[in-house]
Structure 1
């Protein structure tokens, strides 16, 4: 009787240990979700509304499936509270503070995942976390990331299509992401860049690497092959659409593209990837995910669960509290300034070839004007001013800047600019081509056109409570025959003088 009771008592203690630690994990996780609920909802909204990240809706379900696959062996381990695990949670809180101060949503979302990972490590211990290493890592795919690759993928797709059009004998001309053939004028739009499928393929490929392979070499070869094939296939799809238009009509090509792109082409690509990799799968069904005996032999010094949970909640609360304190130090802006008077230039009401207005959501002031000089150059000047930046009120970010995504203007290629500015070419129906040079000034920092430098300057000002006023100055001109846009912009900037002085004046710094 005694010999039969001991295993039962041990099993009961093991179940009670899991229940106690899972309850503590639930409390800490709920605290993270409630405290950063705005970031949780913004992330889920992106999943639901942005087709590029629709696959993220399935990631929590896949994580649950991955844990369920490991549960029969996982329950043999003993979870413990582990105070050193708070270091990863604290690193996540610091990352959230940095991302929020810099206005980078991707960093905030990634930090949210890190904090949840840290809660698992702190409340369940290193042994259990090691057994759940891949599901915990895979949680990073809940973060909407990858939009930065859209412009280069658009250009790459256009170049692949041009190469294939040349091989097919179709006369074509490429300017940025626009391709002109005798049949029509084609744009490699954001939806045609292939970013959507490439991002989803990355998440799918990493899952396949864990579920179907043990060898790291095979994993690397599979993932690289899948991603390269995705990019090449998208270029072929763009070429095929233009080629069909060349052989038939543009309307027929559009219908072909929608059917192929949405239902057939990439399903075939995914099938090709899996069929090609199938003979090389080296993980058999039923193979253990980890060795419970080896992991169970590793002992971690247990900490008091209530103490660890309390410390975890204190750490995550410190980050938003610090940011709220520094936000209160923001300097007020002066009244809306008049547009500057510039020697040799006069204001003009001449109409634009296609209406253009930059987008800066949340700006405290947005002033625009049109100038003409004696040589016939016509330039548009736009100035946006913020007393401070925060979520939805940023100098640089998705949708902010020269090309409003809700308008007909689209980014087409990088453009020429001074050292302290950012040059880009945008295009509207017509086509109407416009060159834009953007300067960004944060606080008392020098002008820059580099978005990363803008984020770093914003981060510094918000973390340290420095001058948080921010200004965007955009100088733009339309491209026309005999009137190059770059020449007009160069002449205007020369007469405008120091951009820093203009930014300081409109922000009220001096």
Structure 2
């Protein structure tokens, strides 16, 4: 077997071994590639990486495979991060950790000399990680701010409220598709590949990658401004339907082509082919299976630990078949008719949820509880698709948020919102085994600690809100409800957190 064939065989064996042990996570990643427009580029990552390995086979001449057993340490470290991600049900962590397990395993199996020659093809695999949605809120905010500022500079009056703004002949909103995240991720991957193929010096490669990050962000801001101005100048006859997206992608394509054209002026010749000093024999290049055993064991340890933890009877909560009704203090009672508001937290993947409305004759509040007991993939409490208010909500705008009152088990998060004719104040939080927290990372951290200690996963989300003509009226309603029924509400959240009904 030739040295290059040995390398290909080793890469295939590592890929099969890693995917076999982390099959559920690998399947999640591939399903995201298939269904998500944002991460569809992941389908090309492995084919491109394989082509790059084939393209660099001349660099492997004279190199023999000598497994780097010290890679056991980073493999175990990445695997431990994957384990924490699984226990906390954080998909982005498990997906990223698996990619690093694969990269470290390839380096360990191939050895440092071959891995150095194939460094870019191996590291290119990291572009397959479906991560980046956390940038959505920030990039949407900046896109809205730039668009509003640019439209005003063009002499058009604008009234802005969060991600929504109104001009004389139309109402516009910056939604997820307008954030530019898709442009950024696609540009970064293609730009990095272009820099590697076109330049030799690290400086030029780095500068082009930086340009591949900055250019799509600015291009997206200009695209949003162009769309709004086209709609305004045409009295909404163009750039308000399907052509809205068409113009955006055409504009982005032109910008990327121009970026590559400009970058081509500084193109360097490709690295010269290395003349082989010697060719490793198959006996010299074929590592013994026993030498690969430590690497194989390091890959398998985290999934085995997870299997043990998940099958421990301690981690399965004592469930209740249904959530008991809230024990209200007089004169509070449940309202059959919902208050005049279309608001409801945007949560999915729950075991069960409930939305009820209560009043005392002078005030009215709404209570939403979603149970996430014994979290599993697709049933995570904290995930990108769960939010009090989604960025593209057309009925409500977030005005601000801060620390709310003490519930007795932790402080609420107080969020101020505005609708077309109403103001709303929402108290919300995550319930993690007896504690109310408001930070996503703290909630995930607490869940990991609870599960590592063998405690059952009793998790839920709760939101209590009131609406009115002004915030003062809404706050008064919430305070009255808290004073009369705060303890009963905590009891109901705890009961809902133990529920496992689908």
> What TM-score does the superposition give when structure 1 sets the normalisation length?
0.84
Q: Which moved more, 1:495-504 or 1:250-259?
A: 495-504
CA gap of 1:118–1:258, structure 2 versus 1, over 3 A, is closer
User: Is the contact made by 1:422 and 1:449 (CA closer than 8 Å) also made in structure 2?
Assistant: yes
- Any residues of structure 2 matched to 1:449-460 within 5 Å, and which? 449-460=438-449
Number of corresponding residues: 485
Matched, 1:51 2:37: yes
Could you report, residue by residue, the CA deviation over 1:61-116 in whole angstroms, capped at 9, with x for unpaired residues? 22122212211121331112332222232223212111111111111112222222
Matched, 1:194 2:180: yes
Taking the aligned partners of 2:6 and 2:172, their CA distance within structure 1 comes to: 61
Q: Give the secondary structure class of the aligned counterpart of 1:382.
A: strand
User: Is the contact made by 2:368 and 2:462 (CA closer than 8 Å) also made in structure 1?
Assistant: yes
**How far apart are 1:196 and its partner, in Å?**
0.9
Please name the residue that 1:438 is paired with: 428
Taking the aligned partners of 2:361 and 2:150, their CA distance within structure 1 comes to: 47
Unaligned runs of 5+ in 1: 1-11
Q: Give the secondary structure class of the aligned counterpart of 2:160.
A: strand
Please name the residue that 2:334 is paired with: 347
Taking the aligned partners of 1:363 and 1:97, their CA distance within structure 2 comes to: 22
Taking the aligned partners of 2:248 and 2:416, their CA distance within structure 1 comes to: 28
Please name the residue that 1:317 is paired with: 300
Please name the residue that 1:103 is paired with: 89
Q: Give the secondary structure class of the aligned counterpart of 1:52.
A: coil
Could you report, residue by residue, the CA deviation over 1:212-252 in whole angstroms, capped at 9, with x for unpaired residues? 33444433433333322222221222122222222223342
CA gap of 1:422–1:268, structure 2 versus 1, over 3 A, is farther
Please name the residue that 2:319 is paired with: 333
Taking the aligned partners of 2:115 and 2:452, their CA distance within structure 1 comes to: 32
Q: Give the secondary structure class of the aligned counterpart of 2:52.
A: helix
Taking the aligned partners of 2:46 and 2:74, their CA distance within structure 1 comes to: 21
Q: Which moved more, 1:481-490 or 1:170-179?
A: 481-490
User: Is the contact made by 2:342 and 2:395 (CA closer than 8 Å) also made in structure 1?
Assistant: no
CA gap of 1:239–1:145, structure 2 versus 1, over 3 A, is same
User: Is the contact made by 1:371 and 1:380 (CA closer than 8 Å) also made in structure 2?
Assistant: yes
Taking the aligned partners of 2:47 and 2:93, their CA distance within structure 1 comes to: 23
**How far apart are 1:389 and its partner, in Å?**
1.6
Please name the residue that 1:474 is paired with: 463
Q: Give the secondary structure class of the aligned counterpart of 2:40.
A: helix
Taking the aligned partners of 1:183 and 1:331, their CA distance within structure 2 comes to: 56
Could you report, residue by residue, the CA deviation over 1:455-493 in whole angstroms, capped at 9, with x for unpaired residues? 111122223322421121111334646876555445544
Taking the aligned partners of 1:72 and 1:272, their CA distance within structure 2 comes to: 33
Matched, 1:147 2:133: yes
**How far apart are 1:160 and its partner, in Å?**
0.4
CA gap of 1:160–1:508, structure 2 versus 1, over 3 A, is closer
Q: Which moved more, 1:206-215 or 1:476-485?
A: 476-485
What RMSD over aligned residues (CA atoms) do the two structures have, in Å?
A: 3.4
Taking the aligned partners of 2:392 and 2:164, their CA distance within structure 1 comes to: 19
Matched, 1:383 2:383: no
Please name the residue that 2:289 is paired with: 306
Taking the aligned partners of 2:424 and 2:206, their CA distance within structure 1 comes to: 43
Taking the aligned partners of 1:339 and 1:166, their CA distance within structure 2 comes to: 51
**How far apart are 1:258 and its partner, in Å?**
2.4
Q: Give the secondary structure class of the aligned counterpart of 1:200.
A: helix
User: Is the contact made by 2:351 and 2:379 (CA closer than 8 Å) also made in structure 1?
Assistant: no
**How far apart are 1:345 and its partner, in Å?**
3.5
CA gap of 1:365–1:259, structure 2 versus 1, over 3 A, is closer
CA gap of 1:234–1:373, structure 2 versus 1, over 3 A, is farther
CA gap of 1:60–1:508, structure 2 versus 1, over 3 A, is closer
- Any residues of structure 2 matched to 1:6-405 within 5 Å, and which? 15=2, 19=5, 22-255=8-241, 256-262=243-249, 264-281=250-267, 283-287=268-272, 305-327=288-310, 328-329=313-314, 330-334=316-320, 335-342=322-329, 345-353=332-340, 355-375=342-362, 377-403=363-389
Q: Give the secondary structure class of the aligned counterpart of 2:41.
A: helix
